[in-house]
Structure formats: C-alpha cells, structure tokens
Chains A and B, each alone.
Chain A
Amino acid sequence: MSSSRVILQGRGCAPGDFEGEAVVSNQPFGFWQGIDPQTGIVIDKRHDLCGTSLRGKAFVFPFGRGSTGTPGIFLEAVRNGCAPGAIVNVKSEPMIVACALLAEAFFKVSIPIIDGLKGDPQELLRTGDRVRISGTSGIIEVISRV
C-alpha cells in the first residue's frame, strides 16, 4: 500500500461524485449481454472480468461496445442497486454516457463518467485501488494503491 496521491485529469462526461474501489480492465466492454442486472456481476464469458462484481465500483475500461439496447440492461442494474458507481474510459461512446444521464433523470442515481484516460487503463489504475472521482471536473484522485 502506497500513500502517495496520484491525480489523473480526464474529461467529465456525466456529473456526480464517487469515492470507492476501482475495477480495471484493458478490454472493451458491452453491458448488453455483459452483466447480470440482478447482481452486477460480469457474465460475458469472453471478458477477463467474467465473474467479477461491478456493483458500486469505479469501472475502468477502454471503451464500450454496444447494442443500442445498452441502457435497457444498465438501468435495470441501476434500479436493482447493482450498477457501477462510476465509469472511467479512454473514450466514452454516447451509448455509455446516455446510461448515466438516464439513470440521473429517471432514477435519481448519479454515476459520474470520465473519459480521455491516456493509455492502457491497467497501467494507470489497478483493481482494488481506492479512487475519488468528480464527473464535473474530470479529476480522478488515487487515494490509495493496492
């Protein structure tokens, strides 16, 4: 465990504040057929996070893959309290940003989204790192490392 604080600056795509644990992957991710909305656990067998829970985590991955039905599954997870608590991408497609904006509009749940992460997410952040995220300023603060 290291105590030195690291600040990463990205671009805020959806507002909100988050503090908690990160789950990091260098593989693109599609929520549609990608997570079980009843539990928040990754069910895509081709994905390296298969079996991992995203519930209440800062989910860090390069970019979304995705069906236009993506918010269907995502909001079902939000409704069940099983969605990620924040999302950090290299590039956030409108499909992902829409999920957070809809969650806020229809379920009063704010899920900050930041994109513009420079490089391989796994070189910048590790699963288990504790992070503070502001979707308004686009700042990711690493509070403690695993």
Chain B
Amino acid sequence: MFLTDEERRILDGAFGEPQRISLQVLVKLGEAYGAERMVQIQSAHLVGSSYQIAGEAGIAIYTRLVEQGARVKVRTTSDPGSIDFARWREFRTPAEYAERQILIAELLDRMGVIPTWTCTPYTIFNVPRFGEDLGWSESSAVVFANSVIGARTNRLAAYVDVCAALVGRVPRFGLHLPEHRRGEVLFELDPDLSTSFEDHDFPVLGYLVGQVTGDRIPVIVGIREATFDQLKAFGAAAAASGSVALYHMVGITPEARTLDEAFGGRAPAERVAVGPREITRTLEQMSTGQGGAVDVVGVGCPHASIDQMRRYASLIHGKRVHAGVELWVCTNAVVEEMARKMGYVETIERAGAKLMVGTCHNDCPLGAWGFRRLVTDSGKFAYYTPTTVGTECVFASTEACIAAAITGQVERR
C-alpha cells in the first residue's frame, strides 16, 4: 500500500503508541482488501462506547490507550451506552454494571469523544456532507450516512472505529470507491403497493430487502416519497436483517436520481418484485409472538427525532399506559431537552411512559424485568430484541404500539 511520509512516521512511532498501533491495524486491514492507500476522514462514530459491546476487553483497550495519551484527531461521537446515565436505577440496572459503563464514558471523555450517546449522530453534532469520507460503525448510522446523505464509509468494526478516530484515516477500499457504490439488486414495488405504501411499511420493506440482499447493494424503485424518519427506519431494518451498508432509492436518495445512475449504467444482477403479498409474508416473519397481553412496548429505534416525539405525545395525550405495561421511548439527550421545552416529555411521562435516554433495549441488561412479549414499530428491534431481551416480539405501526401500551393488548397484523 502507498503510504505518505506522515503515515510512515506514524508507523515509526513518531506520534506515539496509540497512533502507531491504530495505523498498523488499519494498514493491515487495507492490505487484506486491496486498498491502494489511506484516505483522510472528516469524522468517526464509535459503537464500542457501549459496555454491552465493549465488555472488559474494551475497558482494557481504552484504559491502555488513555494511559498512552490517546486523543481523537477528527470529530468523533459515541453510540448509545448500556445505561441511561440519569435513570439507570429506574431501569433496574445492577450498580456494578452501571459503574463499568460510567468508566467507559470517562475513558472516552479523556480521548476527546463527544458524548452524544446516540445511534443517530447524523442529526446532531456529526452531520456529514455528500461525498465526504467517514470512519463510522453502528450499522443503522452507516447505512443512513451512505444512502441518504451520500457520504462514504464502510461498516467499521468496534475498535477499528477507534483506530480510525485516532489517526483520522481509513484504508480506501469498498464504499470509499465510487465503482463499489453501484446498485446490484433491483427491488421493484408493484403499482398496488406503490400507491398504498404507508409509514409502517418502511421498516417492513427494509427487513425484506436486508434478508434478500445480504451484503450487496439494493436499489428500490416505486417509492413515491419518504421522510427523513422513514428512511432512517427503512435503513436500520435492512442493516439488521442483512448487512446492508448502502441502498439507493430511485428519485429519493442522492446517488439515484435515475435508475440508470443507481446501477452506474450496468444491469441488475437480480430483480425482485415486491407486492402486498411479500409485505404480508415479511410481517409474519418479523413477529415471533402471537397477539395477547403486552409487557413492554418499545419505540424510538433508531433514536426518536423531535418529529417522532411530537407524534408519540399527540397519540398518548390524555391517555394512560395500562397497569403492568412499560412504554419505553428511546432517544438522545438533545432531542429529550428540546422535547421537554415543547411539552412533549411532560405529556409522555404524565401518561406513565418512560424516556430511555442515550441507550436502548438492545444495549441494556433487562433480565431483571422478566419480559415475555415486546411490541415495537422498529424493524431493528424486531430483529434483535427477541435475542437480547429474550422476549417474543410483535411488530406493529407506531399508532398500534401506543394503542397496545394503553390497552395492554396487541393484535398481530
């Protein structure tokens, strides 16, 4: 691999051990995947900020890096932690567990990481621009940055993201190269589905696309319009059920103004027709449980925006969460603060729901609750939470989720 003079000096240890070891990992990774050189990144985002992910191995790594004087070289943000730093006792988190997460927070702080504790860094503080190279992990954030914004990042692994942050570079391969960003699999929505496509269909379609696509690049044609939050929900589902790091939605995402542009002039390797029947079949797979009594309702995956907070507040205004049911709304501290000013937090909390800030169900140890049935409007939660929390899952629209929290019952769609 070609290395600049500065990169050679980093590898010789001229800028300290953290940079030397970081660049060494990145160069070897680049060599394994045919990178010809490194590329400078504008920002990094770290998934190993969570104790659930980093564990004691992560603490050992971060402790050593901090002792060696590590400081991030580019703007770097943190993914959700494994506790709500303000309310972890309310969520029955064991104190010794919370202490380990608090230690990780201190270590990241000493490296200069911005403590955003969110999976949607692209909405605050870490907003990429079209064409920028990034070093991000967190699959739902990677897919949003690549697809909706048109920035360029591979799905970095935990700690590789730290290495990237410490040297401000990543090896240039994969999605950093325009020729590797062209569509491969075409998903065509049939006219019936295209005209009737609703808000809650976005995560379902994402889940289906991820299952079929795996790690290839899907192109979706037939979506007429989509909001920021709908694209967020779609991508998070596709990145969970598959390893989708980039999708193109013709007429909606920036590298797909036309079908031809999305495929870079090539023909699709595979075509998949999607109609109401395929959506129904996917819906069935997303729910592992039957309808009936509900223990916990989870919304805000990926972290809720201020628009979503307004929606939850209007759906629950003047109502009451059913006795014995938990309604958890996941978001980040900035949206929480804004929602508090707008009165949404008061409305949500007065109804008996809880805000879960800077973390989420997938990251927290929730064994103490003994939940059996989760209801969620997130394709990503539907994919992971049955394993992480050990519940059955019923996927439902946002309206149906809030209704389930109020009545204590859910019907399978």
Residue positions of A touching B, CB distance < 8 A = 13-14, 33, 37, 65-73, 75-76, 78-79, 92-95, 97-99, 101-102, 105-107
Contacts and interface: CB of A to CB of B under 8 A. Distances in A.
A37 B48 CA distance: 16
B61 A68 contact: no
Interface stretch (B52-60, B122-130, B252-260, B399-407): B52-60
A136 to B, nearest CB: 12
A68 B157 contact: yes
A92 B50 CA distance: 25
A71 B158 contact: yes
Contact of A76 (B57, B64, B142): B57
B137 interface: yes
A99 B159 CA distance: 9
Interface string B150-166: 00001111111100000
Nearest to B161: A68
A75 B155 contact: no
Contacts of B61: 75, 106
A94 B57 CA distance: 20
Given A79-B56, A97-B29, A106-B61, A69 B215 contact: no
Contacts, number: 92
Contact of A71 (B142, B154, B160): B160
Contacts of A33: 387-388
Interface of B: 21, 24-25, 28-29, 32-33, 47-48, 50, 52-58, 60-61, 64, 137-139, 142, 154-161, 174, 215, 243, 387-388
A52 B192 CA distance: 48
A68 B142 contact: yes
B155 A68 contact: yes
A106 B53 contact: no
Main secondary structure of the interface of B (DSSP, over half): helix
A12 to B, nearest CB: 8
A66 B214 CA distance: 11
A75 B32 contact: no
Contacts of B47: 68-69
B155 A71 contact: no
Given A94-B29, A97-B29, A98-B29, A72 B138 contact: no
A72 B388 contact: no
Nearest to B54: A72
Contact of B58 (A68, A70, A75, A99): A75
Contacts of A92: 32
A130 to B, nearest CB: 26
B155 A95 contact: yes
Given A72-B48, A79-B56, A14 B32 contact: yes
7 contacts: A33-B388, A37-B55, A75-B61, A78-B57, A94-B154, A102-B160, A105-B24
A71 B157 contact: yes
Contact of B157 (A14, A70, A76, A79): A70
B56 A76 contact: yes
A29 B156 CA distance: 18
A13 B158 contact: no
B158 A79 contact: no
Contacts of B138: 68
